[in-house]
Structure 1
């Protein structure tokens, strides 16, 4: 995030929550702790206000940009980790009641539809200033959420057909 602009940890928290935080979970503490490590590693610099709240502003250094380029150039073969409480409940659904399963399908369908709608609205806001790759990222988010939304819609229809 510092590649775009110098920032405080609070700024980073705000930026992350509306961008990469949509698909990569960060502990808020990490956004406050990690800059100190990057300063110690010589990848970013730190400027502390001399008065007031003594906020720390971080800025990427040439060594940090090089580390970012190296990271981007590296292979990305890791499997995607999905942590979806809905899928976990579905896996164990044979131990529950049919009505609970219907409610799960309705809730997950609505949740994924809402998230896709939110991403779509966010994309419309971003199109004015985001770069091509940020827009592609949110496009994938929209597609993912619509796909999962459709799964739950189809599953819900199956469950409702069984009740008829």
Structure 2
């Protein structure tokens, strides 16, 4: 995130929440601890505000840009990790009631629809001025959420047909 602009840990938390936090989970503490570790490693610098709250603003160094470039050049063949509470509950739904299953399907449908709608709104806000690759991440997010939304809509239709 510092490759785009210098930031305090709080600003990093805000940026992550509006961008990569949509698809990569971060412990908020990591956004406060990691910049200090990166500074120790010479990958970022820290400038401390003189007075006030003495906020630290972090900036990426040339060595940090080189490390980022090296990381970007590595292969990325890992399987996508899916941690979806809806799929977990669906797997064990034999034990639940038909009402539980219907509520699960409806809740997951609404959740994925809301997230896709949110991504679409973000896309419309940034499409004309944001980094091309940031826009592409939102486009994939929209497609993913719409696909999962459609799955749950179809499942609700199956449940309706059965009852």
Summarize deviations over 1:62-101 as a string: whole Å, max 9, x none. 0000000000000001111111100000000000101110
User: Aligned ranges for residues 86-105 of structure 1 at < 5 Å?
Assistant: 86-105=86-105
- Say what the alpha-carbon RMSD is for the aligned residues: 0.6
In structure 2, distance between residues paired with 1:72 and 1:54: 33
Q: Does 1:11 align with 2:11?
A: yes
Q: Does 1:123 align with 2:140?
A: no
Q: CA deviation at 1:131?
A: 1.0
In structure 1, distance between residues paired with 2:11 and 2:126: 18
What stretches of structure 1 of length at least 5 have no aligned partner?
none
Q: Does 1:150 align with 2:150?
A: yes
User: Runs ≥4 in structure 1, deviation > 3 angstroms?
Assistant: none
SS in 2 for 1:47: strand
Q: Does 1:39 align with 2:39?
A: yes
Q: Does 1:141 align with 2:161?
A: no
In structure 2, distance between residues paired with 1:11 and 1:129: 20
Q: CA deviation at 1:129?
A: 2.1
TM-score (norm 2): 0.99
In structure 2, distance between residues paired with 1:132 and 1:4: 13
In structure 1, distance between residues paired with 2:131 and 2:110: 30
- 1:106 aligns with 106
In structure 2, distance between residues paired with 1:17 and 1:117: 17
